[in-house]
Structure 1
Amino acid sequence: MAISTGQLRCILQAAILAAPQPLSLRQLEELFDADDGVDRDAIRHALAQLQQDSDDQGVELREVASGWRYQVKPGCHRWVARLFSERRTRYSRATLETLALIAYRQPITRGEIEQVRGVAVSSQIIQTLEERGWVEVVGHREIAGRPALLGTTRAFLDHFGLAALDQLPPLHSLQDSAAALAAANEDFSTATTPLDEAPDAAPGTRAAEHHLNSSNAAALTPLAVEQADVEPEGRPARAGRSQIDE
Structure 2
Amino acid sequence: MAAHSTKARGENGQRPFLDRELDHLPPDARWREWMHRVEATIFAAQEPVTRSALARVVGAGCNIDLLIDDIREELRGRPYDLVTVAGGWKHLTRPAYADAIRAAVGGNERSVDLSQSEVLVLTAIAYFQPITRAELSSFFGKEVSRDLIGRLRGAKLIASGPRSPTPGAPYTYVTTKDFLLEFGLDTLRDMPDFEALEDAGLLSKEKLLAGDIPAGLTGEDEAEIT
When the two structures are superposed, what TM-score results if normalisation uses the length of structure 1?
Answer: 0.65
**1:24 CA displacement:** 0.8
Q: What does the per-residue CA deviation read over 1:43-74, in whole Å, with 9 as the maximum and x for residues that have no partner?
A: 22211211232233211111112411110111
* Cross-structure match for 1:76: 97
Contact 1:140 1:146 in 2 (8 A): yes
* Cross-structure match for 2:191: 168
Contact 1:66 1:158 in 2 (8 A): no
2:106 is aligned, of 72, 85, 97, to 85
CA distance in 1, matches of 2:61, 2:44: 20
* Cross-structure match for 1:150: 173
Structure 1 unaligned regions, length at least 5: 33-37, 174-194, 203-229, 236-246
Which protein is bigger by CA-based radius of gyration?
A: 2
When the two structures are superposed, what TM-score results if normalisation uses the length of structure 2?
Answer: 0.71
Contact 2:117 2:225 in 1 (8 A): no
- How many residue pairs are counted as aligned between the two chains? 182
Residues 72, 200 of structure 1: alpha-carbon distance in 2 compared, 3 angstrom cutoff: same
Give the letter aligned to residue 78 of structure 2. Q
The answer on 1:18 being equivalent to 2:69 is no
Contact 2:42 2:89 in 1 (8 A): yes
1:117 is aligned, of 140, 144, 154, to 140
CA distance in 2, matches of 1:197, 1:56: 39
Percent identical: 23
The answer on 1:159 being equivalent to 2:150 is no
* Cross-structure match for 1:35: none
Residues 59, 130 of structure 1: alpha-carbon distance in 2 compared, 3 angstrom cutoff: same
**After the TM superposition, which parts of structure 1 deviate over 6 Å for at least 4 consecutive aligned residues?**
none
* Cross-structure match for 1:28: 54
Q: What does the per-residue CA deviation read over 1:182-207, in whole Å, with 9 as the maximum and x for residues that have no partner?
A: xxxxxxxxxxxxx94885669xxxxx
Structure 2 unaligned regions, length at least 5: 1-21, 207-220
* Cross-structure match for 1:192: none
**1:113 CA displacement:** 0.9
Higher relative contact order (CA 8 A, sep 6+): 1
Q: What's the C-alpha RMSD, in Å, of the aligned pairs?
A: 2.7
Higher helix share: 2
2:156 is aligned, of 104, 109, 133, to 133
Q: What does the per-residue CA deviation read over 1:141-173, in whole Å, with 9 as the maximum and x for residues that have no partner?
A: 111121211111122112211111110023536
Contact 1:137 1:148 in 2 (8 A): yes
CA distance in 1, matches of 2:205, 2:222: 28
